């Protein structure tokens, strides 16, 4: 399977935890930027003519901050340059502080059929603390506009002053207003972001407190009928994000725009994070790739193990054999023995036990020591 990702790097203002390629003071360049993205797509047209793309994901940044006509033109450009499956999943990320009935009507009209809304927390003070531009009421307004649509809500835990009860209430709010998919991510204080100071000052919840919030969230989600299909992703039956499932299958994808990464034909490559550089490259009829790495056979196998063990279904040993020609349980018998308390092994699958998924990184790393 293959997907398309497009990065829209504009936001109204910068959240205090954000280290994505997003430029709050550059919205005036949106039109030129989108023209470059359409051009970049056209340049990849021939190279990707044999692919049928099953997903298109418009992420950011805040795609909903730019004029909705650019989004409609973007979907049209994707359809014009590439073969998009008839039932393709087309997702747009939205910030509740930037939506309107008109925007959502345009999105639906141009074929967008999945919406990913950044709620983060239902506590207004916490939203303000992390620099989000919206309130809980604006989320509710947005959710009402999306009534009956396939929509996901992002929830964060580990915020300053947040309790497990706050996380549970946020999840209940998202579910009550119709979210059929919830992504629950731990706040990661990256060096260089304003929130890193709070982290250094010991003002953020510690690892145990964050784990307690996550566990409380997982329980609430279960009670509300959401199934976990990846460590941070939960959904009602059949509402998995096909775009993300492809990442965890080590599938192929092509990225367009600043900072977008791609994985085509066992080569991983990434575009520049610098907006001016992106303009310069595309306008001079070049690509904007800053690094590219061919993944060798060993690397492909490692990636597959790492990605599959993040998922609730785990690693399918038959599929592993068909891909890499080896018996997973035999090849990794020493690791499987050492990690026995953390793993669940059935005839055809190896997965991390539910209760240890939150700390999957420290378990997965053992496979490569
Ligand atoms: S809305 Fe998202 S991309 Fe924009 S600044 Fe906030 S976290 Fe970063």
pLDDT tens across 58-101, in order?
999 999 999 999 999 999 999 999 999 999 999 999 999 999 99
Domain that holds residue 118: 2-247
Q: Is residue 203 situated within a structural domain?
A: yes
Q: Is residue 30 situated within a structural domain?
A: yes
The mean pLDDT value for 220-240 works out to 97
26 and 122 share one domain:
yes
* Helix, strand, coil fractions of the chain, as percent rounded to 5: 45, 25, 30
CB neighbourhood size of 111 (10 A): 15
Q: Is residue 62 situated within a structural domain?
A: yes
Q: Is the CB of 60 under 6 A from ligand 1?
A: yes
- Domains held by the chain: number: 2
The mean pLDDT value for 158-186 works out to 98
Q: Is residue 310 situated within a structural domain?
A: no
Instruction: Indicate whether 108 pLDDT > 90.
Output: yes
Q: Is residue 348 situated within a structural domain?
A: yes
Which residue, by CA, sits nearest to atom 8 of ligand 1?
18
Last residue of a domain, one of 215, 232, 247: 247
CB neighbourhood size of 169 (10 A): 15
The mean pLDDT value for 112-136 works out to 98
Using most ligand atoms within 8 A of CB, pick from 7, 61, 98 the residue to mutate for ligand 1: 61
For residue 331, give Cα distances in angstroms to 227, 262, 337, 367.
31, 30, 12, 11
Mean residue pLDDT of the chain comes to 97
Q: Is the CB of 62 under 6 A from ligand 1?
A: yes
pLDDT of residue 224: 98
Separation CA 247–CA 265 (nearest Å): 14
pLDDT of residue 364: 95
pLDDT of residue 113: 98
321 and 240 share one domain:
no
Last residue of a domain, one of 192, 223, 247: 247
222 and 319 share one domain:
no
pLDDT of residue 61: 96
Give pTM, 2 decimals.
Answer: 0.97
232 and 341 share one domain:
no
The mean pLDDT value for 332-355 works out to 96
**Bridge partners of residue 181, in order along the sequence:** 152, 235
Using most ligand atoms within 8 A of CB, pick from 12, 16, 20, 99 the residue to mutate for ligand 1: 20
pLDDT of residue 346: 94
Q: Are strands 227-230 and 252-256 parallel, antiparallel or unpaired?
A: unpaired
The mean pLDDT value for 152-157 works out to 98
Q: Which CATH number is 105's domain given?
A: 3.20.20.70
Annotate 226-250 with b (16+ C-beta within 10 A) or e (fewer).
Answer: bebbbbbbbbbeebbbbbbbbbbeb
The mean pLDDT value for 333-358 works out to 95
218 and 327 share one domain:
no
Instruction: Indicate whether 369 pLDDT > 80.
Output: no
* Tokens describing residue 56: 């298109």
18 and 141 share one domain:
yes
Q: Is residue 283 situated within a structural domain?
A: no
pLDDT confidence band for 266 (50 / 70 / 90):
very high
Q: Is the CB of 95 under 6 A from ligand 1?
A: yes
Are the C-beta atoms of 40 and 290 separated by less than 8 Å?
Answer: no
321 and 197 share one domain:
no
Residues 6+ apart with CB under 8 A from 359: none
114 and 9 share one domain:
yes
Say how many CA atoms lie within 13 Å of 106 toward its Cβ.
18
Atom of ligand 1 nearest to the CA of 95: 1
Are the C-beta atoms of 228 and 183 separated by less than 8 Å?
Answer: no
* Tokens describing residue 242: 């096909």
CA of residue 325 to ligand 1 center, whole Å: 42
217 and 342 share one domain:
no
Last residue of a domain, one of 194, 217, 247: 247
327 and 243 share one domain:
no
23 and 151 share one domain:
yes
Separation CA 49–CA 56 (nearest Å): 16
Instruction: Indicate whether 216 pLDDT > 90.
Output: yes
Q: Give per-residue pLDDT as tens, 27-49.
A: 999 999 999 999 999 999 999 99
Which residue, by CA, sits nearest to atom 2 of ligand 1?
61
Separation CA 319–CA 83 (nearest Å): 27
Q: Is the CB of 324 under 6 A from ligand 1?
A: no
The mean pLDDT value for 314-324 works out to 97
Q: Is residue 26 situated within a structural domain?
A: yes
Q: Is residue 154 situated within a structural domain?
A: yes
Q: From the CA atom positions of the chain, what is the Rg in Å? A: 21
343 and 214 share one domain:
no
Chain-centre distance for alpha carbon 18 = 14
């Amino acid at each position: 399977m293959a997907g398309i990702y497009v990065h829209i790097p504009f936001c109204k203002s910068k959240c205090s935890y954000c280290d994505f390629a997003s430029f709050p003071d550059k919205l005036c360049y949106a039109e030129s930027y989108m023209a470059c993205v359409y051009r970049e797509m056209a340049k990849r047209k021939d190279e990707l003519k044999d692919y049928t793309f099953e997903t298109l994901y418009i992420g950011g940044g805040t795609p909903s901050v730019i004029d909705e006509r650019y989004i409609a033109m973007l979907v049209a450009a994707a359809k014009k340059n590439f073969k998009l499956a008839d039932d393709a999943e087309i997702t747009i990320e939205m910030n509740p502080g930037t939506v309107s009935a008109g925007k959502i009507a345009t999105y639906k009209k141009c074929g967008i059929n999945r919406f990913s809304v950044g709620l983060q927390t239902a506590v207004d003070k916490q939203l303000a603390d992390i620099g989000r531009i919206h309130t809980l009421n604006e989320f509710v307004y947005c959710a009402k506009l999306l009534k009956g649509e396939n929509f996901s809500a992002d929830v964060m835990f580990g915020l300053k002053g947040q309790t497990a009860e706050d996380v549970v209430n946020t999840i209940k709010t998202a579910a009550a207003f119709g979210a059929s998919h919830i992504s629950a991510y731990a706040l990661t204080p990256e060096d260089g972001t304003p929130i890193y100071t709070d982290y250094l000052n010991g003002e953020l919840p510690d690892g145990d407190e964050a784990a307690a919030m996550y566990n409380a969230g997982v329980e609430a989600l279960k009670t509300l009928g959401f199934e976990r299909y990846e460590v941070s992703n939960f959904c009602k039956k059949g509402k998995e994000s096909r775009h993300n499932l492809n990442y965890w299958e080590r599938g192929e994808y092509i990225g367009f725009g600043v900072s977008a990464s791609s994985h085509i034909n066992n080569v991983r490559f990434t575009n520049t994070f610098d907006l001016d550089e992106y303009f310069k490259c595309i306008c001079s009829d070049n690509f904007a790739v800053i690094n590219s790495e061919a993944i060798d056979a060993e690397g492909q196998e490692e990636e597959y193990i790492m990605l599959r063990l993040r998922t609730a279904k785990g690693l399918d040993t038959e599929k592993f054999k068909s891909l890499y020609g080896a018996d997973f349980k035999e090849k990794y018998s020493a690791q499987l023995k050492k990690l026995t308390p953390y793993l669940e092994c059935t005839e055809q699958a190896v997965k991390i036990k539910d209760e240890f998924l939150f700390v999957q990184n420290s378990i997965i790393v053992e496979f490569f020591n």
